[in-house]
Chain A
Amino acid sequence: MMSALLARGDFWMPMQGAEGAWVVDWLFYFIFWVSLVFFIIIAGGMFWFMWRYRRRHEEHGPESNVSHNTALELTWTIIPTILLIPMFWWGFTGFMDARVAPNNAYDINVIAQKWSWRFVYPNNYDDNNLHVPAGVPIRLVMRSEDVIHSCYIPDFRVKRDVVPGRYSTLWFTAKGAQGRTTEHHLFCAEYCGTSHSDMKAKVIVHPSREDFDAWLANADPLKQLTPEQYEAYVKDPEGFIEELRKTDPDLAARLVTPVEHGRRLYEKKGCAQCHTITKDAPSRNGPTWWNVYGHKVLLRDGSSIADENYLRESIVNPGAKIVAGYDNIMGPQRVNDREIDALIAFIKTLRDDYQKP
C-alpha cells in the first residue's frame, strides 16, 4: 500500500502530471525545510532545557532569573519576518501564473452536479471523464447545476471551486507520456452532500494533440453513421449492429444498443449511487428501478403509473413527483433526449415479466 502511494510520487508529493506542478513542489519543499529548521530549534531547545534544567528536589531554585533581553527578542522578531517575505512573494507569483491561462488555451466546458462531472468538448460531445491532449494548455470553464463543488486534480496541483450562478476557470498543461495515455484522479474537494466522496472522475491524457483529435472525432460512434444508417439503427439496434459487423467491424464494436447505452449512463451519471437495479438489492437513498416500469408507484400524495412520461419527468424534474418514503434529494438531471431514451429503454428491461421484443 505504502509503495503504491510512493510509486506515484515521493514521500510528500504525488507525481507531477502537469507542467506547472514543479513550482508548487519546489515552494512546498522550501517552506518545509525552513519550518523544519525552526521546529528543530524550538523542540530541540525545549527537550535540551527539559533535561538540563529539570528540578532535582523541591527546594531547587532556578539558575537564572533573566526576564528579558531586548536584542534577543528583536532578533527573533526580525528574522522570521524576513524569511516570510520570499514565501509570500513566490506563493504570489506562482499563484498568478497558475491563474492566468495563455490565450491559445483549448477550452473544455465542465458541468458539476450532485454527484457527477460532465465534460463538454468543442464538438458538443460530452463525457464523464476528462480527456485532454498532452502539451496543450487546457482551460476548464466550469459551472455548477446545484451547490458548490470544487474541481481538484492532485497530480496537476490545481483546484478551483465550481460555484453555482457563475463561471469559474482553471487551466493546466498536462505532461502525459510518450506513445500511451496516462490516467490521473479528479476529485470533488468541496463538500456537496451524500455522495460527495463518490463524485470523482478520471483525467485521461492522450500523448499528442493528433491522438486527442482522433479520439474526439470518434468518441461518439453514432455521429459517424449516415442518416440512412441512423434510421436503420433506431428501428432495430441489435439487427443493425449485427449487419454492420460484416462491413465495418471497428465501428460496430463501438456502437451500443440503447439498452446498453442506458446501462452505461446508469453507472456514469451517478444514478447507481442511489438507485438499485436488481430484485433483492438493499434499498438506498432513492427508489429501486426494479419493476418500476408499467407499475403503479405510490407517491407522497397519490400515485402514478410509471410510463415513459413519468420516467422522463423523474429524470428532468425529480421534485415534481416524490415517491412515498423518500426525500426530495435529487436535483434535475441535465441529460439530452437521446440519453433519456436510452435510460428509459434500460429501465424497461428491469422487471420480472420483461421479454425481448
Chain B
Amino acid sequence: MSSYDAAAARGPDSAAAADNYLTHGRGLLSWALTLDHKRIGVMYMTGIIIFFLIGGLFALLVRTSLLIPQKNVPGGTPFIFSHDNYNLFFTLHGAIMVFIVIIPGIPAAMGNFVLPLMLGAKDVAFPRLNLTSWYLWLSGAALALLSIIMGGFDTGWTFYVPYSTDTTFAGVIPVLSGVFLLGFSSIFTGLNFIVTIHKLRPPEMGWFRMPLMLWATYATAVIQVLATPVLGITLLLLIVERAAGIGVFNPALGGDPVLYQHFFWFYSHPAVYIMILPAMGVMSELLSVFSRKHIFGYSFIAFSSVAIAIFGFLVWGHHMFVSGQSNLISTVFSFLTFSVAVPSAIKMFNWLATLYGGSISFRAPMIYALSFMWIFGIGGLTGLFLGTLAVDVHLHDTYFVVAHFHFVMAGTIFVFFGAVHYWWPKITGRMYNETLGNWGALLSVIGFNITFLAQFPLGTHGMPRRYYNYEEHYWIYHVVSTCGAYLAGIGFVLTVICLVQSLFRGRKAPANPWGGNTMEWYCPSPPPHHNFDHPPPVTDPYDFSGWKYDEKAGGYVRRSPAEIPAPASKGH
C-alpha cells in the first residue's frame, strides 16, 4: 500500500499522464506494428463496432423485406430482395454477428484492454501472439467481406451439409477459410489470456481476489482453446469436401450429414458460452460499481462461470432433437441441458442481491447492465422451453428459436456497449455525454425488445425461420418486429454518435470516474504506455470504501488511510 502513488490516481493533472499510450509513438506504423495490449484492444474495438453496424444494417434490410408476406411469387414482385438475395443477406447477418462481432467482442476488445490492467501487469504474456491474433481476425473478417464479391454464400451461418456442398453460390470456400482464420484468432487470444492470468497475477492476488471479470475471461479462454480446434477441423473437412468431392458429410458421396451437425455444434454450442460468459463477467463489475456495493456471492458467481464452461461442452445435441439422432441421445442431452440452467439462475439471483441495499447510479453502463438482467432473464427462461424435448419438437427452427437466441446473444451486445461506455474514459481519456449515452441505450434496448418479443408468438404459431415468403396470418407480428428493429437501429446509431462526439467534445476523464476499485482505475486515463509507475495495491476488488468523490477532479480519489472506515463485512 505504501508504494502506491496517490498522485497517479488523480489523472490528467499528474505528470505521469503527459505521455500516454495514445501519444507514445505516432504514425500508422506505430499502430500497425504495436505490441501494446491497449492499442490492440482499441483496434479490435473499432473494427468490431464497424462490423456490428454492417451486420445490423443487413438485419434491417432483411426485416424491411419481411414487411410484405408474399413476394416474387407467380404474379408478385420482389420487395427489397429476390429469394436468393434474401438468403444471402440473412446469412451474412448471422455469420458477421457471430464470428466477427460477438465471439471476439468482449474478450478480444475489452479483455485485451483491461485484463492486464486488472492484474496490474504491463502487458499480456505473449504480446506478439496477441498482434498475430489481431491480424488473423482482420484477415478472417476481410475474407468474409471478400466472399460477398466472390459470389456470396447462402448457406445460413451454420453451413449445413449437403446444402453447403451443393449450393451454386461461389463464396462458400472463401468464407469458410475466413471463419477458419477467425477461429485461430480466438484460440490465440484464449491461450494468451490463460497464461497471462496464471503467470502475471501479482503474488498477493490469490484466485479469490481476482475481479469476477477475470474469472469469466479465464473460463471463456478455456472453452476457446478446447472447442475452437474442432470447428477448424470441421471447416477444413467441409472445404475439402466442396472443393475435391471427398465424402465425409455428403450422403451422395457416402458421408453422413448428421455427423457434420455433431461436429459443428460441438464447437458452436460452447461458442454460445464464449459469447455470454465474458458478458457475465462485465456484469458483475458494472452492477457492483454502480451500486457501490460489494458483489453478492463472489464464490458462487466464480464457480458458476466454471460450471457453465464445463457443462457447456456436454449439451450440443440439443440443437438436433429433430435431426434424426437417436431418442436415447436426445434424452441425455435434454437432461444435461437443464443442468446449465442452474448456474445461470445462480448468477441472476446473485446480481439481484447485489442491487439490494446499494446506492444505484443510472449511468449509461448501468442502464446496459440492468437491461441485460431483463434481456438475459427472458433469453434464459425461454431456453427452458427449448430444452424440454416434447416442446422443442414444435418450436425447433421457428421464430421462437430466433427470438430466444437473439435475447441471449444480443444480451452480450448490450453488455459490450455497457463495457465500452464503462471503460471509454480509461481508453480515450474523454467522458462521453451522459444524456446522449442514456438515450442511445434506452432506445436500442426498447427497440430490441419490441423486435424480438413479437417473434415469440410468431414462433409458437409455427412460422419457420429463414422464410422469404410467409402466410398472411403472420403479417402483423412481422410489422411490429420490423418497427422495433428500426427503433433499435436509431438507438445504436445514437450510441455511436455519442462515442464519436466525445472524442472531440468530451471533457477530460479523471483516473477513476465511477469509483471502481479494480486495478485499472489506479492508473491515469488514458494509461501510460507501461500502464503503472508503481504496482497498485492488491485489495478486495469490490470494496469501494477507499474512494471518495472529488468535485474538482470530476471523479473519485483515494481516501487517506485514516479516512477509510472499517469494512462493513468481510467477504468470502
Listed in ascending order, the chain A residues whose CB lies under 8 Å from chain B are 1-2, 4-5, 8-9, 11-14, 23-24, 27-28, 31-32, 34-35, 38-39, 42-43, 45-46, 49-50, 53-55, 58-69, 72-73, 76-77, 80-81, 84-85, 87-88, 90-96, 98-99, 146-148, 150, 152, 154-155, 157-161, 163-166, 168, 185, 187-198, 272, 285, 327-329
Contacts and interface: CB of A to CB of B under 8 A. Distances in A.
Interface in B338-397: 338, 341-342, 345-346, 348-350, 352-353, 355-362, 370, 373-374, 377-378, 381-382, 384-385, 387-394, 396-397
Contact of B358 (A4, A11, A62, A194): A62
A189 B397 contact: yes
B360 A55 contact: yes
Contact of A42 (B293, B299, B352): B352
Interface stretch (B47-55, B217-225, B329-337, B525-533): B329-337
Sort chain B's interface into a size bin: 35 or more
B297 A95 contact: no
14 contacts: A64-B293, A66-B356, A66-B569, A67-B297, A73-B349, A77-B346, A90-B390, A95-B390, A98-B393, A165-B252, A187-B464, A189-B396, A189-B398, A191-B466
Contacts of B293: 62, 64-65
Contacts of A88: 334-335, 338, 387-388
Which of B167, B352, B464, B571 lies at the interface centre, i.e. has the most chain A CB atoms within 10 A of its CB? B464
A50 B158 CA distance: 40
Given A53-B291, A55-B292, A191 B156 contact: yes
Of the listed residues B356, B373, B388, the one surrounded by the most CB atoms of chain A closer than 10 A to its CB is B388
B475 interface: yes
Contact of A28 (B349, B381, B391, B467): B391
Nearest to B346: A77
Contact of B257 (A164, A191, A197): A164
A160 B393 CA distance: 8
Contact of B162 (A1, A148, A155): A148
Nearest to B388: A91
Interface string B247-271: 0000110001110000000000000
Nearest to A156: B394
A84 B335 CA distance: 9
Contact of B357 (A42, A64, A157): A64
B435 interface: no
Nearest to B343: A77
B476 A49 contact: no
Contact of A67 (B294, B382, B467, B470): B294
Contacts of B166: 146-147, 193
B393, B398, B568 interface centre (most CB from chain A within 10 Å): B393
A31 B572 contact: no
A1 B473 CA distance: 6
B360 A54 contact: yes
B433 interface: no
A147 B258 CA distance: 12
Contacts of A147: 160, 162-163, 166
B357 A164 contact: no
Contacts of A87: 338, 384, 387-388
Contact of B389 (A9, A64, A95): A95
Contact of B469 (A38, A81, A190, A198): A198
Contact of B391 (A31, A160, A163, A192): A31
Nearest to A169: B324
B295 A67 contact: yes
Contacts of A91: 334, 387-392
Contacts of B464: 152, 187-189, 197
Contacts of B83: 194-195, 197, 285
B88 to A, nearest CB: 11
Given A1-B475, A147-B163, A49 B381 contact: no
Given A54-B360, A164-B257, A96 B384 contact: no
The 6 A-B pairs with the shortest beta carbon distances in the complex, nearest first, are A154-B462, A165-B251, A64-B357, A94-B390, A91-B388, A95-B389
Given A5-B476, A53-B355, A152-B462, 17 more contacts: A28-B394, A39-B381, A42-B373, A49-B358, A50-B362, A62-B292, A62-B293, A67-B569, A68-B298, A77-B345, A91-B387, A94-B389, A147-B163, A150-B397, A189-B465, A190-B397, A197-B469
